[in-house]
Amino acid sequence: MKKRLMSFRYAWEGIVSLFSNERNAQIHLGAAVCVITAGCLFDLSAVEWCLISLCIGGVFMAEGFNTAIEKVCDKVSPERDPLVKTAKDVAAGAVLLFVISAVVVGLFVFIPHLLKLF
């Protein structure tokens, strides 16, 4: 039981490290706060909240994987290496793909609410 509880502690430390040390994660966190605020103002439905929550969580998860890959690559190969560059570029590209998808979902969720204002 103690090992299981410690795994949660380590995971929490990873989350704190991600948002404390990674600029892009901080930017995504700021965007998430804005989206959550807008969701509260527009009184989103349960389904809309589920979509928004999955997108926010997915972007954070992708950013975490990207950071982990970058840290391991930097440790294993501090010098320039074309394979390490490719690994880091693909990981960053995966984050970008998820962010683009999240923006599209956000547009589908928020545009109808914005149109009601006019």
Q: Using alpha carbons only, what angle is made at residue 18 by residues 104 and 88, rounded to the nearest 5 degrees? A: 70
Q: Taking a C-beta distance cutoff of 8 angstroms, is the pair 48, 105 a contact? A: no
| Residue 118 to residue 101: CA distance in whole angstroms | 26
* CATH code of residue 27: 1.10.287.3610
Tracing tokens 């700021």 back to the chain, one arrives at 30
Structure tokens at 100: 């683009």
Q: Taking a C-beta distance cutoff of 8 angstroms, is the pair 63, 24 a contact? A: yes
What residues make up the domain containing 45? 2-115
Distances 19 to 1, 11, 12, 37, 85 between C-alpha atoms, Å: 28, 13, 11, 19, 23
To the query of whether residue 63 is one of the catalytic residues in this protein, the response is yes
User: Which residue in 13, 63, 70, 79 is the catalytic one?
Assistant: 63
Could you give the number of structural domains in the chain? 1
The pTM (predicted TM-score) of the whole model is 0.91
List the chain pLDDT tens, one digit each, 118 residues: 888 889 999 999 999 999 999 999 999 999 999 999 999 999 999 999 999 999 999 999 999 999 999 999 999 999 999 999 999 999 999 999 999 999 999 999 999 999 999 8
| Residue 28 to residue 74: CA distance in whole angstroms | 23
